[in-house]
Amino acid sequence: MREIVLDTETTGFEAEGADRIVEIGALELVNHLPTGRTFHVYINPERAMPKEAFEVHGLGDDFLRNKPKFAQVARDFLDFIGTDSRLVIHNATFDMRFLNAELTRAGHPALPMSRALDTLEIARRRFPGSPATLDALCRRFGVDNSGRELHGALLDSELLAEVYLELVGGRQPDLVLVGPSGAQPGAPGTRTQSRGARPRPLPPRLTEAEAEAHAAFVGKLGEGAVWLRYSDA
């Protein structure tokens, strides 16, 4: 299973207005393991960088002026995410709105929302009433985010990948126990074999004194003692 953990940075909050994407960061997971393949690009937003956005991202007009425009990197981005890989995004509605607005302007089809898996929604379901920001989830799961002084798309994607694996069940969510043949227990076409009884019972580990003490203790509990229900089992 191939997944893309994705983050964008923007000039503001109005995807269909004047605001634009200034950075995209993404990394590839295959079967919940990072492959080392990443996509990272800074983008000329074709507008002045608002002061508020500069304070969040640290990306200014002088830095972005000579970067490619979205239309120039759109094909590379689409090639990286593929046509059916799941997109793992924190607050997916926000990023998908911006990506689709940019793709539409560049003459590309929009990405269906069905491809997005929103880790913000997962976190809110798992921890109702608790903070669900990326920083809060890093603290909860012990993910080191000390380098996150400013928001950066690739760094945030790397942090989100670690958080995502914790949200879906730990660092090895696909770990399964398999039999000697490699077949999963209960899988179609497999048969569970009984190992039968031991040829010789294991010797008791209780001493005679311990057994007598336990019998005396149970005798004090009366006929309703739970041990008596299974004494012949």
CATH 3.20.19.10, domain 2-167, yes or no: no
The two three-digit tokens of residue 174, written as one number: 């696909």
Provide, rounded to the nearest whole percent, the portion of the chain with pLDDT above 70: 77
- pLDDT category of residue 225 using cuts at 50, 70 and 90: low
Structure tokens at 5: 């953990």
What are the residue boundaries of the structural domains of the chain, listed by start? 2-167
Q: What is the pLDDT of residues 4-18, one digit of tens each?
A: 999 999 999 999 999
- In which band, very low, low, confident or very high, does the pLDDT at 167 lie, cut at 50, 70 and 90? very high
- Single out the catalytic residue among 57, 90, 108, 151: 151
Q: What is the DSSP letter of 113?
A: G
**4 forms bridges with which residues in the sheet?**
28, 87
Taking only the tens place, the pLDDT of each residue in 62-109 is 999 999 999 999 999 999 999 999 999 999 999 999 999 999 999 999
Query: Is the Cβ–Cβ distance between 91 and 62 less than 8 Å?
Result: no
Cβ atoms of 68 and 102 closer than 8 Å: no
Contact criterion met (CB below 8 Å) for 160 and 4: no
Structural tokens at position 57: 């991202």
Structure tokens belonging to residue 107:
């003459």
Quote the tokens at residue 144.
């080191």
Task: Give the separation between CA 219 and CA 230, rounded to whole angstroms.
Answer: 14
What's the confidence (pLDDT) of residue 145?
A: 82
Strands (E), 52-125: 86-89, 116-118
Q: Is 90 a catalytic residue?
A: no
Q: Quick one: tokens of 220?
A: 């004090």
